[in-house]
Chain A
Amino acid sequence: MAENPSELHLPGPIMSRREALQVTAGAVTLAALPPETVAATSSSPAVVKNDMTLTMTVNGRIHTLTVDPRQSVLDVLRETLDLTGTKKGCNQGACGACTVLVDGKRIVSCLTLAAMHGGAQIETIEGLEKDGVLHPLQEAFVEHEGLQCGFCTPGQIMSGLGCIAEGHAGSPQEIQFWMSGNICRCGAYPGIVAAVADAAGRT
């Protein structure tokens, strides 16, 4: 993790896949619009603006943000703060890929409005590693192969932190029940359960 994790860095000579997609998508959109539409879009009076300004702390860093009340916490994390470790799976609260901790509690960030979280303390997957050292639960996921494709993993790990903190990691059966809000379509469940159990034993 960099010193200033939330600072947007401009696409450099070596672009990530995401940066490349962002730049090309913007160019394609603009190119596809006729010139007058571009002008109209930029100063359209018909667009309803109900924006709200709020402050939230994400991974220990305070952000003052202006949000459209329709934006979920997930969208603000990914689109505004560029913290794309938190994943958008189903976007309807069913899969758990977007799990983060808000004020210490695990929630699905897709089903809650950012504008309702002024003053909140949010922890995401990006905040777990400290000075190049993985969090013990991240280590355990690597060690026990608690993943295949990895898409659900940030949500699994954040949910696992909640599961352990709540005291529900006492047995594999208990972990299975209390981790059931996180779906893994690769079926890495045995590794996930083992990782949570292992990390719970270490802390």
Chain B
Amino acid sequence: MFPFVLEKPDSTEDAIAAAAAGARYIAGGTTLVDLMREEVERPERLIDINRLPLGGIRVEGEHLVIGALARMAEVAADANVQRLQPLIAESLIEGASPQLRNMASMGGNLLQRVRCPYFRMLDAGCNKRTPGSGCAAIDGLNAGHAILGTSDHCVATHPSDVAVALVALDATMRVRGPQGERSFPVEELFRLPGDTPHLEHTLLPGELIVEIRVPGGPHSRRARYLKVRDRASYEFALVSAAVALLVEDGVIRQARIAVGGVGTRPWRLRDCEAELVGKGPDRQAFEEAARLAARGARPLRHNHFKAELLPRTIVRALEMAGEVA
């Protein structure tokens, strides 16, 4: 690991000023410490933000508000989260391990870096790690990689589970930076790789995630997260689906579908959602809608199966949501 200076500011302003000058934030550290040890990340100055007042979970009217420093385990076990947004609790518990969920912050979860093995292999080409060095995954072992939103420069998936749920639920995030605060949909945090895969998010220099706001509504109760993976727990998704249904008088009034494990960012499927509205919540309707999910997919040599697994996962997740009493 390269040497660095660790600072622990007591004020958010001091933290932001340091980050605007090039320092990196650290909260749980579960991604960053690992990547620093691998020398993929080489920050010279780290700002420990754990003293800042960015934790906690609260309810504001119809909104669930989750502080950026709230830990994954804390959010998953929170009574308000379980009552108002069970999809968030379910997606969190399906991610990482109990130990990591005790450590990892919600803000850090959204900003976690990719799990593509070539990203952390210093002698392999990776445009995300070293712009212009190529992408070893495109012709390499790519069963775990993306089929949607890829480019000729990067095919890595975004690894977060809870981000998929937050995108499905139209969550927004409040960030604070040197120029003050702003809010925007969580979905807009994530960039497509294009020809600049080293640019992963839309935060400006020094910006710090303050909180995540999740609007509530009648759809929140019929909401499920299904994660398909190589083992039953503690594994990244091959395909995952976060879905929510609002069913009235036997008719789907509103549908929300976002998927993970297949896209270079958490992937909302608005065409599939539109296809479901006005139909009965049955398998035929689910299959017709899910058929649209893999349109435009660009499978790689080892991940053709995802184009088939994706609609199947969506159908099963919709069935699970429909079964919620």
Query: Contact residues of A with B, CB < 8 Å?
Result: 48, 50, 52, 69-70, 72, 91-93, 96, 99, 105-108, 111-113, 115-116, 159, 162-163, 166, 168, 176-182
How would residues 153 to 196 of chain B score, 1 for a CB under 8 Å from any chain A CB and 0 otherwise? Answer: 00000000000000000000000000000000000000000000
How would residues 36 to 51 of chain B score, 1 for a CB under 8 Å from any chain A CB and 0 otherwise? Answer: 1110000000101010
- Additional A-B contacts beyond A70-B3, A112-B30 (13; CB < 8 A): A48-B3, A50-B5, A70-B1, A91-B37, A107-B102, A111-B103, A113-B26, A113-B33, A116-B8, A116-B26, A166-B77, A180-B234, A181-B100
Least distance between A65 CB and chain B CB atoms (Å): 14
The reply to whether B233 and A106 contact each other, CB–CB distance below 8 Å, is no
A-B pairs under 8 A by CB, number: 88
| Chain A residues, Cβ within 8 Å of B274 | none
Please give me the residue from chain B that is nearest to A67 by CB atom: B6
- Cβ of B56 within 8 Å of any chain A Cβ, yes or no, is no
Cross-chain contact of A105 among B1, B3, B102 (Cβ < 8 A): B102
Indicate whether A108 sits within 8 Å of B233 (C-beta atoms), given known contacts A50-B3, A50-B4, A69-B46.
no
How would residues 1 to 42 of chain B score, 1 for a CB under 8 Å from any chain A CB and 0 otherwise? Answer: 101111010000000000000000010111001101110000
| Chain B residues, Cβ within 8 Å of A178 | 98
Please give me the residue from chain A that is nearest to B235 by CB atom: A180
Indicate whether A69 sits within 8 Å of B6 (C-beta atoms), given known contacts A180-B234, A181-B234.
yes
Cross-chain contact of A116 among B29, B30, B99 (Cβ < 8 A): B29
| Chain A residues, Cβ within 8 Å of B100 | 93, 108, 111, 181
- Distance in angstroms between the alpha carbons of A21 and B234 in the assembled complex: 35
| Chain A residues, Cβ within 8 Å of B38 | 92
Please give me the residue from chain B that is nearest to A183 by CB atom: B234
- Cβ of B325 within 8 Å of any chain A Cβ, yes or no, is no
- Distance in angstroms between the alpha carbons of A105 and B50 in the assembled complex: 16
- A sample of 5 inter-chain contacts (CB < 8 A) reads A50-B4, A70-B1, A108-B99, A113-B26, A166-B98
Query: Contact residues of B with A, CB < 8 Å?
Result: 1, 3-6, 8, 26, 28-30, 33-34, 36-38, 46, 48, 50, 73, 77, 96-100, 102-103, 232-234
| Chain A residues, Cβ within 8 Å of B77 | 166
The reply to whether A72 and B46 contact each other, CB–CB distance below 8 Å, is no
- Distance in angstroms between the alpha carbons of A91 and B38 in the assembled complex: 11
Please give me the residue from chain A that is nearest to B48 by CB atom: A116
- Distance in angstroms between the alpha carbons of A89 and B233 in the assembled complex: 20
Least distance between A123 CB and chain B CB atoms (Å): 14
Least distance between B119 CB and chain A CB atoms (Å): 13
| Chain B residues, Cβ within 8 Å of A181 | 96-100, 234
| Chain A residues, Cβ within 8 Å of B36 | 70
Least distance between A198 CB and chain B CB atoms (Å): 19
Indicate whether A162 sits within 8 Å of B48 (C-beta atoms), given known contacts A50-B4, A69-B6.
no
The reply to whether A115 and B6 contact each other, CB–CB distance below 8 Å, is yes
| Chain A residues, Cβ within 8 Å of B103 | 107-108, 111-112
Please give me the residue from chain B that is nearest to A48 by CB atom: B3
- Distance in angstroms between the alpha carbons of A176 and B232 in the assembled complex: 10
